[in-house]
Structure 1
């Protein structure tokens, strides 16, 4: 089988300047960009003038925006519901200006507590976020991330099925699953496939958690790509290499390492018979 997907990437892993982000992504054959920050400012903190300038830069480069990579839900569960709903409003405004169909979100830190003890609070907050997004035309995609409630497949499934909103789907990150001891494709794919709407491209080694280029770790990236292809997936594949540095709200690779990551993923796609543009 063959398929065509849309190649995107986290621009701020390349450089703080969106012009450089755009130039590198276009040189690597990407048609889209995932926007997490520009000029060193997080997407939810950009003002109207900055959003307009960013839109002009990306339009001038011929890049669409695949997603707003927001930090929504990367806060402690103890904060009130309204805290993240208000920030989501700003992310939705950014998505509107940039023409992004997706906003990436997370399901809250809960250090020092058991996941079952915070489940109700997580569901309450995720439901409020989904309701805020409903009717906007933008879909929230939850990223499985270590140290948040939705870190393993079973809790991710619980979350998305309990909230049960057309405005909440899943972003699949294989490296993050590896880093919490999960074999992504073997232990999570069939369980979560009905809800997967977005692919983040990152791989990792199981023994150390070190992030590596796609196909060079234990993230079962090729098997996942082949299964997505066979299921009719035609969405985005967004490069998030984290090859130089990783930190709480993101990561960095630089232009050279980002190119390494893009070429590694191109090899995976070639083996699977998937084209990316």
Structure 2
């Protein structure tokens, strides 16, 4: 792990575009308005990247190239809240194979994954099956030059640093690393900062969101810096440890895709991007202007 005296790091910013607009033109326009020109792709026209037909995918590639917008990674459904560990593993394998081909075209290496809901299993069996699946997926990803970035969200290792470390150190593959979502701790009931300190040396990608507890315990998502996730302090931990990946906003302030609630909102997306820029500007250990 880099020391706390690590030098300034370059800050690269992106966003999960379908929270700004369902259509790709709108997604590209939102990050262009921010001056970032980077997208993390999850859906295009409401369809996950792996499920696009070939013509739709080729059109998306042409539009991205024409706009000069790069893709920093793809948010897959592998191991997510919709796919319990008792489900058909072939579905995940097939998605990874499709994304391997498409990421090669997009020039992206990162694929977001999770570690499977339990599907009614007890803890030990849940963990055994989740690790076995991710080990096989990491082997396949390594063959394709991809990196699976496991998010602190749904699944066996979703809310525990010890299990995340068990995954990356136990599987011991360069194709399996961690994606840290700063706001997920508030939503899932744990403080994000202590977790980040434990796992930071394995983090290759970051989602930025913020949240606070609302009336009746409901979680309310808010622009970065306005909630309880201690976003600025998390950024300092990342930068002090030499984090060199992308900060990708996933605001959830209008759209929460996993709950199928809300609608994409470009203005809210851009406002969250500006809020992140202001936080970074106040973090003295970064170098220069984000880009």
Same fold (TM over 0.5): yes
Of 95, 105, 111, which aligns to 1:103? Answer: 111
Contact 2:112–2:149 (Cα < 8 Å) also in 1: yes
Matches within 5 A, 1:8-157: 8-74=14-80, 75-146=83-154, 148-152=155-159, 153-157=161-165
Aligned length: 275
Distance 1:115 1:256 in 2: 42
Distance 1:172 1:70 in 2: 15
Of 226, 238, 262, which aligns to 1:228? Answer: 238
Q: Deviations over 1:63-107 (max 9, x none)?
A: 110001111112011123322111111121221111112111111
2:194 aligned with 1:180? no
Question: Which secondary structure state, in structure 2, belongs to the residue aligned with residue 189 of structure 1?
Answer: helix
State which drifts further: 34-43 or 242-251.
242-251
- Structure-2 residue corresponding to 1:261: 272
Distance 2:239 2:270 in 1: 24
2:202 aligned with 1:199? no
Contact 1:16–1:40 (Cα < 8 Å) also in 2: yes
State the 4+ residue runs in structure 1 displaced beyond 6 angstroms: none
Q: CA deviation at 1:116?
A: 3.0
Distance 1:65 1:220 in 2: 27
Contact 2:42–2:76 (Cα < 8 Å) also in 1: yes
Give 5+ residue unaligned stretches, structure 2: 1-6
TM-score by length of 2: 0.89
2:290 aligned with 1:276? yes
TM-score by length of 1: 0.93
